[in-house]
Amino acid sequence: MTPHTPVFCSIVPPHVLDKLAQDGNDAARRTLEHDGALRTRRRVTALRGIAAPESSPTGKPKRTIFDTGHTATLPGRKVRAEGDDPTSDATVNRAYAGLGATFDLFQQAYGRDSVDGTGLPLNATVHYDRQYNNAFWDGEQMVFGDGDGEIFLDFTLPVDVIGHELTHGFTQYTAGLEYYGQSGALNESVSDVFGSLVKQYALGQTAEQADWLIGAGLLGPSVDSGVALRSMKEPGTAYDDDVLGKDPQPATMDDYVRTSRDNGGVHINSGIPNHAFYLLATELGGNAWERAGRIWFDVMTGGTLASDADFADFARATVAAARTLYGESDEVQAVLKAWSSVGVPTS
């Protein structure tokens, strides 16, 4: 499948890095400047066109881990290939395992061969740059920083961060949601949804057992009042800290944030569809990847969702997908209830 236009997508929102940089954190300032340059470079590359990596359906992952040795030159030196024994570097091994956990969710739960559906090789680079406070998908591969050790730890630690970023690849090869405004917030939300499902699937957790946090275990010792980057269960509560500031995510349309920053608030307003998914998954109960996740998956792969879809478009698509899957059922009513609870219309 020909991918949609690739974009640079990172796990740490610009507003977090901006707050840290304004407070004099040099690692955050350098990360912010670096990410801005990469976004510009990715837009230029997209305009020129980009060749899709060669895929071949196998039903098995094809992972390669690279190490830049704290430089910013991608992809770096190959340090572990598919089937190789674990190395002495825990970061390399976590990246390898996280790529595998993401592949497993899509393959075993949905029958999809890698993020593109045709066996796309999964490449990741670790130890990127020095004190780099982010992880990103650049349209071709995953990249992980080590963090600064004070505010952010190693970005391979939370498996949902790996799942989140790889899901940007899934979106690139399916609905191609434009990375601005509500479609961009949906792009981010879909990555949070499947990133959380990767963790739940790997741990064998039900919707009730899951923490519904994105990036738990990532925050370092300098953060006193924070548990993660985002909460799908309670958007706006992931952190409230002197260092990070206050989590700005809204849970409903009543608190929708209108801003020109961060591509129209894609990392902020994603809290609204995130919360809708959480409400649906917990209303249905059991394993969230089975019914709630299947509805979201079918919307993304169904070929009917416009790339500039807004929240209402996406909500209506989930209702239609639920009806196709389950008929007039409790699942459809749960979908309608979830979107109504966050203030997004479905008619």
9-172 matches 181-341 in fold: no
DSSP for 48-75, written as a single string: H--PPPP----SS--EEEEE-SSSS-SS
* Residue 260: partners with Cβ closer than 8 Å, 6 or more residues away: none
DSSP for 79-139, written as a single string: EEETTPPP-S-HHHHHHHHHHHHHHHIIIIIH---STTSS---EEEEES-SSS---EEE-S
Q: Which of 165, 178, 188, 331 is catalytic?
A: 165
How far, in whole angstroms, is CA 304 from its chain's centroid?
Answer: 22
328 is catalytic: no
Q: Residue ranges per domain, the chain?
A: 9-172, 181-341
The pLDDT assigned to 54 comes to 65
* Residue 177: partners with Cβ closer than 8 Å, 6 or more residues away: 171, 183, 184, 186, 187, 190, 305, 307, 309
150 is catalytic: no
Strand, helix or coil at 222? coil
Query: Is the model's pTM score more than 0.85?
Result: yes
Residues of the chain with pLDDT under 70: 1-2, 41-56
Contact 75, 44 (CB under 8 A): no
The pLDDT assigned to 102 comes to 98
Strand, helix or coil at 308? coil
Name residue 9's beta-bridge partners: 137
The pLDDT assigned to 47 comes to 38
Q: Pairing relation of β-strands 245-246 and 9-10?
A: unpaired
Q: Which of 15, 164, 267, 275 is catalytic?
A: 267
Main-chain phi, psi angles of 231, to 5 degrees? -125, 125
* Residue 231: partners with Cβ closer than 8 Å, 6 or more residues away: 212, 213, 214, 237, 238, 247, 249
HSE-CB at 200 with a 13 A cutoff on CA atoms is 28
Q: Which fold has domain 181-341?
A: Neutral Protease; domain 2 (1.10.390)
Give the C-alpha distances (Å, rounded to integers) separating 124 from 30, 81, 160, 168, 337: 21, 11, 15, 14, 39
The pLDDT assigned to 55 comes to 66
Name residue 125's beta-bridge partners: 66, 143
The pLDDT assigned to 1 comes to 54
The pLDDT assigned to 53 comes to 56
The pLDDT assigned to 39 comes to 77
Q: Pairing relation of β-strands 240-241 and 245-246?
A: antiparallel
CATH annotation of 9-172: 3.10.170.10
Question: Which single residue is written with the structure tokens 């434009």?
Answer: 178
List, for residues 135-163, the tens digit of each pLDDT value.
999 999 999 999 999 999 999 999 999 99
